[in-house]
Amino acid sequence: MISIEKRAESVEEATKQGLLQLGMDETQVDIEVVSAGENGEDAIVRLSTKWSEEDGVLDFVCGLLDRMDLDCSLDVEPIESGYKVTISGEDAAFAIGHRGEVLDAIQYLSQIAMNRDKETYTKITVDAENYRERRESTLRDLAKRLADKAVRGRQRVELEPMNPHDRKIVHEALADREDVVTFSTGTEPTRFVTIEPKEPERTFGTQSSFRKFGIKTRSFGAKRRGF
């Protein structure tokens, strides 16, 4: 929260100057008349920015980074159902950590802090140096390469342990493929994704297979028999 005091010949003029300095309108600040300017004295007005949920997110993440002794800048922007915090600056890489572990921890703690004793959930996403997008692109490429490997070798491929968010990216990357199936195995924090090739559909007979009423058949002269 920012608080300033302005002096002017009248309360109205002091308020106008204060709003101009803050770059805000009257709906965004609390205005307190310290002195009405009687007996020829200047009027004094105190203007304080209103606390918002966005300010709370900024203050919490800033506090975490300060305790970690990291020199970073923060930007907070509203997103659907919450806020996105972007970390930048000299020490931003330290805020990411090994495969985003530090970044995930900051995001997890922020979500807990901002949703304590609340009826509605506020989503908090924390990113640094565009790590989230780069990580998703890397995982999608990896998933496709390993799926191709599984199909060529006709054997399942197990990925390294991942957090739930990364596992979801892998599952979604291969959801439309008809030649593999994916599933998660193990327990947290060592739960991992397995990619397994699907068994090819078998056909029978010397002539082309076809379906009749949902049943596979093959042709022997004029007769058709279902299996």
- The CATH number linked to 187 is 3.30.1370.50
CATH of residue 27: 3.30.30
What's the domain count of the chain? 3
Asked if residue 141 is part of any domain, the answer here is yes
Q: Phi then psi for 64, rounded to 5 degrees? A: -60, -50
pTM over 0.95: no
Query: Length of the chain in residues, anyone?
Result: 227
| Average of per-residue pLDDT across 24-45 | 86
| Listed range (45-49, 103-107, 213-217) with the worst mean pLDDT | 213-217
Q: Which residues pair with 180 in a beta bridge?
A: 197
Token duo for residue 215: 């049943």
| Listed range (50-59, 74-83, 135-144, 163-172) with the worst mean pLDDT | 50-59
Closest C-alpha to 60, from 74, 77, 79: 74
Asked if residue 202 has pLDDT above 80, the reply is no
Asked if residue 227 is part of any domain, the answer here is no
Cis peptide before 78 (omega within 30 of 0): no
Confidence of residue 222 (pLDDT cuts 50, 70, 90): very low
Q: Which residues pair with 83 in a beta bridge?
A: 78, 124
- 160 vs 143: CA distance, rounded Å: 11
Asked if residue 221 has pLDDT above 60, the reply is no
Task: Report the amino acid identity of residue 194.
Answer: T
Closest C-alpha to 146, from 90, 195, 81, 95: 195
Domain identity same for 19 and 72: no
Q: For 124-147, what is each residue's pLDDT tens digit?
A: 999 999 999 999 999 999 999 999
Residue 193 belongs to what domain range? 133-197
Task: Report the amino acid identity of residue 15.
Answer: T
Q: Phi then psi for 58, rounded to 5 degrees? A: -60, -45
Please tell me the predicted confidence (pLDDT) of residue 220.
45
Which 8-state DSSP code applies to residue 174? T
